[in-house]
Amino acid sequence: MPPRRSTRKATTIATTDSTPVNPSDAHDASAVVDDAVDQATTATRKSTRARKKTTVAAPTQDSQDVSVADVKETSAKTGRKRARSEDEDEKPSKPASKKAKKASKAADDEDDAQPKDTSKMVTVLKRGAVPVDPASSFVNTHQVYVSPDGEIWDAMLNQTNIGKNANKFYVIQLLHPLGNASQCTLFVRWGRTGETGASQTKGPWAPTTAISEFKKQFRSKTSTAWEQRKGMVAKPGKYTWLERDYNDADEEEKEVVSSKNKGAEKPVSVKVPESTLHDEIQSLCRLIFNVGYINAALSAMNYDANKLPLGKLSKATILRGFAALKALADVIENTGSTNNTAAQYGGFDPACAELSNQYYSIIPHVFGRRKPIVINTMPQLKKELELVDALGDMEVAQKLINEKSSANWDGEPINPIDARFRSLDLESMQPVASNSREFAAIATYALNTHGATHSYYKVAVQNVFRIRRKYEDENWAKAGFNGLGEDQRLLLWHGSRSTNFAGNQGLRIAPPEAPVNGYMFGKGVYFADMMSKSYNYCYPDTSGNIGILLLCDVAAKPCHEMLDACYNADEECKKIGKLTSGNIGILLLCDVAAKPCHEMLNACYNADEECKKVGKLSTRGIGRTQPVDWQDAGEALDNDELKGCLMPKGPAKDLNPPGAYLQYNEYIVYNTAQIRVKYLLMVRMQH
């Protein structure tokens, strides 16, 4: 259940790997600044609309997108022909009524009308393989057509063009009445991302004809045949197909739809047994399996979960997102005239714009009416890496939340919280008594390692849990770490978003598709000996001001020490025979096989390679402020499992080593077998 990477690589409480995207010590804020001019303009438009007392027929999309009612319609007053949206067919299914024409005229006067309020939401049961588009009028009467060969006739398309301020979607579905698959209707909906948009229907036809029309529509929007959609590369000016996961095709999941569909079926109520878990463990489960917190985290990162919902996000889409960022990283990192990637697009600026278009088309973002942002700096790239990295963990959490089988091994119903806790697949978890010596020692460790540069907030340790993950001891032993000396294991912090802890994947390392220069000391799992260094990756503001920290037993020494960033530090560390590197986000206390360290003063994107070259267990990024005295964690915490593992004793001091670039130490390991999660903390932020 530890979390997974989060650009810093967080994990899920079942930990095996984490991928850091080590930003520097400063706390990365992901706040989006709204343009004051846009606000003023919006206010003026609202005022104008109030005076006109007009109604908009449908929310607008991109500047070139109009509703079906607008097609080839001539204004009675002006005689002018309206512009057609590129996303409409030449012939709408039905001629526009007088009422529609009147509403269309109002829409003409207000091209930037605000989208309809969709805040009132109800639930319906999904039928078949995939839900009917919730903005359609067919939710309660139809379902998506699935042909006898199992093909699901549903497509979500996306397109971003920053130069044209285009950020839009296109939905295509074949729908048939419930209980009657002999007639299918083609339903399409298009609009600007984050808005409802306009829609159109054609048909009905027999399934063979309907499939032909579906394929024709798909090719028209993508310039790609339906049969060749997997692995497709978007053509200029065309949409990208978003691959979705239909593995739960036989399950009836609740889908959120607009309040106009209130005639929906209601799920049968079942008596929910009381939870058998300790109150503190229940509290933890409510934190990491919280839909509201997942949505808040996605919103903070501008991800559009309506277009590509969690639970439907495929692994292939996540890997394509990493690959798009990898291409961007190559351009940003190598700004010289010899950069082949940039040269393909005509230079740095056009390359960043086009590659940003490709990335946003794969990983949909909501920008409202603002122009999408060109990704052309490393800080921007790291924020997007964090998003793509976190999507995999939140995808796992969403699927576990949607899981309907709340039953024990005998098939008897159990409390949903108990079922979700079981999905963490832990060997054991016990709350640590708040009045115990163990709890006090951990709280002191947190207090003493709260960095001076993070004084703008305070923290209070709320709950502490002892954790044992399955197979960690076995993997540790197989890797040969049972014979480490007493000073080679360190008890270090790891922090990540609370939404990254669901599931049993454990701490993970970034995939090959991810750009290496997005990780300060190469692709590995990052730890810190300063609590606040890791806590800054918890982002508690999106989870009720509660962050999750892990304390891990890490095989860290000998370290490959570095003073600055090194993006291939993993290779460097292995070359010189060192074990680790250092730094992370959700708070875990981990026993880490860390020494010998490959020590560095600055960032090194290939630190993993350097670490391997010198034969070290980890890379250590050397900070200016660091703990001075160390003690045996087993004795300090009254925990025999941690005998021989070291933890800081007393407050950190400003040592300011010559050449040090980092504010605090970072430890990075490149083999997840070097990590054993020992404690999980729920820590409240206090401003």
User: Is 666 one of the annotated active-site residues of the chain?
Assistant: yes
Rounded distance, CA 341 to CA 351, Å?
8
**Beta-bridge mates of residue 461:** 683
SS3 612: helix
What tokens does 393 get? 């963990």
**Contacts (Cβ under 8 Å, ≥6 apart) of 12:** 1, 2, 3, 4, 393, 396, 424, 500, 501, 502, 503, 504, 505, 506
Q: Report d(CA 664, CA 533) in Å as an integer.
A: 7
Q: Which residues of 156-176 are buried (b: 16+ CB within 10 A; e: fewer)?
A: bbbbbbbeeebbbbbbbbbbb
Cβ(67)–Cβ(59) below 8 Å? no
Query: DSSP secondary-structure letter at 642?
Result: G
The answer to whether the beta carbons of residues 189 and 135 sit under 8 Å apart is: yes
How far apart CA 96 and CA 94 sit, in angstroms, is: 6
Burial 439-456 (b: 16+ CB within 10 A, else e): bebbbbbbeebbbebbee
Question: CA–CA distance from 687 to each of 532, 536, 665 (Å)?
Answer: 14, 14, 25
Which residue in the list 73, 384, 599, 666 is annotated as catalytic? 666
Distances, alpha carbon 350 to alpha carbons 239, 340, 538, in Å? 19, 13, 35
The one-letter amino acid code at 599 reads E
Q: Return the amino acid letter for 15.
A: T
In terms of Cβ atoms closer than 10 Å to its own Cβ (0-12, 13-18, 19+), residue 319 is middle
Largest pairwise CA distance in the chain = 88
How far apart (Å, rounded) are the C-alpha atoms in residues 224 and 524?
38
Task: With beta carbons less than 8 A apart as the criterion, state whether 528 and 566 touch.
Answer: no
CA-CA distance, 654 to 664, in Å (whole number)?
9
CA distance to 22, 42, 107, 295, per residue, from 45 (Å): 43, 5, 13, 29
Tokens at residue 648, please? 């800081």
129-132: long-range contacts (C-beta < 8 A, 24 or more apart)?
129/154, 129/246, 129/249, 130/154, 130/244, 130/246, 130/249, 130/312, 131/253, 131/255, 131/257, 132/173, 132/175
Residue 660 CA: distances (Å) to CA of 520, 587, 657 = 14, 25, 6
* H-run or E-run covering 161: strand 154-161
The residues that are catalytic are 666
